[in-house]
Amino acid sequence: MRRDEIPPGTLHLLILKTLARRGELHGYEIARTIQQNSEDVLQVEEGSLYPALQRMLLKGWVKAYWGTTAENRRARFYRLTAAGRKQLQVEESQFERVMSAITRVIQTA
């Protein structure tokens, strides 16, 4: 998940999508999920993840609460809000729109 690899903002999209599917997860779990689903292509650094979650909290796309994991550890869990669900739709279609445009350019040139 490097600056020179992925679109800025894509991390938001990936987090939103992951939460939409999985319901509620804590940060570390979100990172591992994305990493696994990408078959280890996308490495989600903690220094990217937590700031991203902070931004998303501020924007009201997610809400958070403290709880305990299955292994009895303290962790902060995140859940999508209605605004987050709407944002997911926006970002998903935006992503699709731009990526197919780029693909078009690459294939046409």
Partner DNA sequence: TACTCTTCCATAGTCTAACTATGCATCGAA
Partner DNA sequence: TTCGATGCATAGTTAGACTATGGAAGAGTA
CB of 30 to its own copies, least distance (A): 11
Q: Which stretch binds its own copies (CB under 8 A): 39-47, 52-60, 61-69, 79-87?
A: 39-47
Q: Which residues pair with 66 in a beta bridge?
A: 76
Query: CA 56 to CA 78: how far, in whole Å?
Result: 10
Q: Within 10 Å of residue 50's Cβ, how many Cβ atoms?
A: 14
Question: Which CB sits closer to its own copies, 54 or 68?
Answer: 54
Q: Pick what 98 binds: its own copies, DNA, none; C-beta below 5 to 8 Å, kind-dependent.
A: its own copies
CB of 101 to DNA, least distance (A): 12
One-letter amino acid for residue 107 of the chain: Q
Q: Contacts from 29-36 at CB under 8 Å and sequence distance 24+?
A: 29/69, 29/75, 30/78, 34/1
- For its own copies, the binding residues (CB under 8 A) are 3-10, 13-14, 17-18, 20-22, 33-34, 37-39, 41-42, 92, 94-95, 97-99, 101-102, 104-106, 108-109
